[in-house]
Every structure is written in structure tokens, then in C-alpha cells.
Chain A
Amino acid sequence: MDGPWGMPWGTFLSLVFLWMSPVVAIIVNQTRWWRELTKD
């Protein structure tokens, strides 16, 4: 069965995964590990 816009589900989920890159960047930026690593 096709997913949104008639795409196969694998293709659609890959597209979603692609756009998770900036989201992950914003989330990691809030973590203590990253704040500690990038301390001046």
C-alpha cells in the first residue's frame, strides 16, 4: 500500500528521516554532553 502523495512507505519515511537532521541538531544542542563539549 502506498503512503502519502502516492509514494511507497520506504521512500516517504526516508524523506522524513532526511529532514530529521536539523531537528536532531536542535535537540542535541540542548544536551548537557554537547554543552560540556563546546564549553569555552
Chain B
Amino acid sequence: MQANWVTLTVMLVYCLGMIGIGVYFSKRVTSSMEFFIANRSLGPWVIAFSYLATYYSTVMMIGSPGFVYLQGMGYGIWAMIGSGWLFALLPFFYMAVPVRKQAERLGAYTVPDWLGNRYGSDAVRGLTAILIAVLIIPLCASILKGTGSLMQVLAGISYGWGVVLSGVVVLIYLMLSGFYGVCWTDYVQAIIMTVGLLLVFPIALYEAGGVSAMVQRLKDADPALVGIPGKLPWGQFITLSLIWGFTVPGTPQLLTRFMALRKNSMMRTCMIASATFGTLMIFLSYSNGILARALYPTEFLKSPDLVVPTLVYRMLPLWIAAIFVSAALAAAMSSLDSVALVAASSLIRDLYERVILKDSGRTVTERQMVNWSRVISVIIVGISIAMALKPPAIIFLLSAFTAGTLAAALASPVLYAIYWKRGNWQGALAATIGGTTVTLIWYIFKIPGLHPYVPGVITSLVLMPVVSLMTPAPAKELIDLAFETSKPAPGGRTARATTT
């Protein structure tokens, strides 16, 4: 019981801190632009850490090290490369700056808003918004389910209370302070995650007898654990270790971070911070799986998810273990708040304000928009809590493939939006529908050989140019506006050069 009270106390202090951040930033939110993108006012460190915390969920701290425990060191290092290079570094080169510039010029502050403006189409805007809302709510429920299980195992409280506590804390700071609260809590959460991981690694390495002794122990357990591709065939090795790094262009909660940066020049610090701390965090986290295999070669082969929590509680003083548990909770909450906000923005900004209100001819004040945004955030997190408490089977069937499907649907329209002037709304619609359909078919029929994201994104990348070239080119003024050959949209708010 002592373990539970120490862990619970540390976790409650952490939760109160997160709510405090929400209260502090609540007065800044006076418009929907502030609620959804913090008025493009955030600095490079907050954006970099928020970007990392959003992507790194509990899976990174608990689930994936468990898989590394099974597959060994070679796989672990390549999974780190997938994250350290493909997620934390390269997107800054190939997309962060153009996405930020284009979204600002088009007056967009959500991904459907940006794509709708870039392709001059409410159909693209509406379809993207609906896809995000439909696919992300099960993802929120799935994250909360993970959090409930985590708190049940590590803090000794019931699953239901774990879900409610973490969901309500996220709900409070999200509702109060929108994107400000989400990013600043992400910033603190990323620091807590790094500290938690830094506390575990040296002690576990010491227990294993250092690097050479660890490698020798792995070889003694199974020589395949230290080599490449180790225990996996090459195809699976490459796919599993690198695949998620390629999904960044189709992940709306990450793209929004690029849009919220105050100035282009801040992307320099942002990139270095992301590459450095992203690599550090993933290295420390996955190393836990490798070290655990050296320390307990056979104990967790049937329950790899338990390996990191057990490692932490066996190795560390109680209060440090409690910080690590808070770090795992932080990893879940920092992902949940971001995806919930993306879903809320899709419904409010893109469907309600830009499609439904526009068609009805009514207008609403900014204050009303903020209030509606808060109400929708409450509803989304509330539905997610309800789903996680009594999960319908379909939800977890859906949540298993939401991230891959969304990434396959959006990656192609996003990449062509910043690189190809000839891309039009017809191509974007075909790419989104085709990518989604193929990925879903691959998931549902469990077609072996490739991760479903791969055929989905290839279909989408092919459909976009084919359909675009078969249909009329986009309006010149739209392209001039998007690609910096004319003045930006007045006030940075509206950029409707042409519509379908």
C-alpha cells in the first residue's frame, strides 16, 4: 500500500500542476484562433517539446520497449532511428517551414482549414474534418484505456478512477486554455518524461554491469538479440522499425505545431531541440527494453508490457518510480489533449463555422466561437471517457487502425499542397478517399506482407497527380497566394480565392 500512496501523491501533485497551467493561460483565450492555434505566438522550445510529447505516448514508454525486449538490440536501435531521424529531424527539412508559411498566408489554423483554402474547396475541408473527427475520437478512447490500465497496475487505483482522473484533468486544462494549455502542458510533460527516463537508464545500466556486460548477457540469452535484423525477417524489420516515422505528413496534431510557431526563423532552434531531445528520449526509453532483456532474459516473454513497470519498481527508490509513473501518465495526457483539440477544431472551425454557418448566412462572435469550442472539447473528451469506461468492441477495433488510416488519407494532399502547384481539389479528394479505402481494406482483410499504411499512402500519392492532371488546373490567384507570389490574405484570416 505504501507504494500506492507515494505514487498517488506524486501523480496528484502532477495533475494539479497541469490544471494550474490551464488556469494560468485561460485569460489569454479570447478568440477561436487563440483557442486552436495560440494566435501563432508560441516559441521554438515549447513547439519542439510539444511536438515530441504529442508523438511520444505511453506506447513509447511502456509498450514499445516491451516489443524491443522481445526483438532485441538491433531492432531497438533501428526503431530509435525511425523516430530520431524520420520523426524528430527530417520533417523540419521537408515540410515544417512550407506548412507554416502556407498556413499563415492562407489564414488557416487547422489542417482541414489549410487544405480547404489551399485547394479552394469546401469538399476537401469537410471530408478532412469529418475523417479527423471520426478517426480521432476512438483514438482518444484508446489512449484513455491505456491510461486507466497504467494507473491500475502502477498506482493501485481502479481502472475506472484512472480513466476518469486523467480524462478530467485533460478536460479541465483543455477547456480553459485551448492550444496554449495543450502546448505548455506538453512542454512540462516532455520535461517530466525526459527526467523520468534519465533516472531509470543509468541505474538499469549499472545493474546490468555496463554496456559490454549487457551485450554479453544478451548474446548468452540468444545471439540474435544483438544483431541486425536479429529475430525478424528483413522486410518486417524495416517496416516495423521505420514505418511510423513516415506518417508525420498525415498526422494533423503534429502539423498544427508547425503552424503555431511565431516566426520562420524560430524553426532553426525548434529543429535542433527536436532532433536532440527526440533522439535522447527515444534512446533512453527503448534502451529500457534492451536492458530489461539482459537483466531478465526469460521472465517477461509472455507479458512484455509489464517489463518496464517491473524494471522501474525493482530498480528504483519508490519516489523515483513514482516520478516515472507520472512521466508515463504525462506521455498519455500529452497525446490525448492534442488529438482531442484537433477533433474539436475540425468540428467547430471547419464544419460548423466554415461550412454550416457559411451556408446558413448567419454570423457568430469570437466569444461565441470560443464557448462553442469549449463545449465541443468537453463533449469529445466526455465521449472518450464514456467509451473507455465501457468500451464497445467496435471502438477498439477502430482505434487499432485510426492513426495509420488518417496518415494514409492526409499525407498525399499535404505533401502535394506544399510542393506541387498543379495539384487541385479533385486530386486531393481522390487521394484522400483512395488512401483511406485501401488502408482500411488492408487492415480489415489482414493482407500480409506490408503494413497497411504503405499501400494506402502509395495509392494516395499516385491518385493525386493522375486525377489532378485529368481535371482543370487550380485558379492562378489561389496558387499565387499559396506559393508566395502575391500578397497574403487580408488579416491572415480569409483566403478564399476560389471555391468549388
Contact = CB atoms under 8 A, between A and B. Distances in A.
Interface of A: 5-8, 10-11, 14-15, 17-19, 21-22, 24-26, 28-29, 34-35, 37-40
A8 B474 CA distance: 54
Interface in B192-213: 211-212
A34 B271 CA distance: 11
Interface in B82-138: 84-85, 88-89, 92-93, 97
B351 to A, nearest CB: 34
Interface residues of B, number: 34
Given A7-B226, A22-B279, A14 B211 contact: no
B271 A10 contact: no
A11 B73 contact: yes
A25 B48 CA distance: 13
B74 A25 contact: no
B89 A24 contact: yes
B45 interface: no
Contacts of B271: 25, 28-29
Contacts of A10: 74, 227-228
28 contacts: A6-B216, A7-B215, A7-B226, A8-B226, A8-B227, A10-B228, A11-B74, A11-B226, A11-B227, A15-B77, A18-B77, A18-B84, A18-B283, A19-B279, A21-B275, A22-B89, A22-B275, A22-B276, A22-B279, A25-B89, A25-B92, A25-B272, A25-B274, A26-B272, A29-B272, A35-B268, A37-B264, A39-B265
B272 A22 contact: yes
A28 B268 CA distance: 9
Closest 8 CB pairs of A and B: A25-B275, A22-B276, A5-B211, A21-B84, A6-B215, A22-B275, A14-B77, A10-B228
Interface string B410-448: 000000000000000000000000000000000000000
Per DSSP, chain B at the interface is: helix
A25 B212 CA distance: 30
B401 interface: no
Interface string B50-81: 00000000000000000000000110011011
Contacts of A29: 268, 271-272
B105 to A, nearest CB: 14
A12 to B, nearest CB: 9
A36 B441 CA distance: 43
Contacts of B88: 21
B212 A6 contact: yes
B227 A40 contact: no
Contacts of A24: 89, 275
- Name, among B89, B275, B278, the residue most crowded by chain A CB atoms within 10 Å (CB to CB): B275
A18 B81 contact: yes
A39 B84 CA distance: 25
B48 to A, nearest CB: 11
A19 B264 CA distance: 26
A6 to B, nearest CB: 4
A17 B81 CA distance: 8
- Name, among A11, A21, A29, A39, the residue most crowded by chain B CB atoms within 10 Å (CB to CB): A21
- Name, among A6, A14, A18, A35, the residue most crowded by chain B CB atoms within 10 Å (CB to CB): A18
A37 B276 contact: no
B489 to A, nearest CB: 18
A14 B84 CA distance: 12
B263 interface: yes
B339 interface: no
A24 B215 CA distance: 28
B358 interface: no
Nearest to B212: A5
Nearest to A11: B74
B219 interface: yes
Given A7-B226, A38-B267, A40-B263, A14 B276 contact: no
A28 B97 CA distance: 14
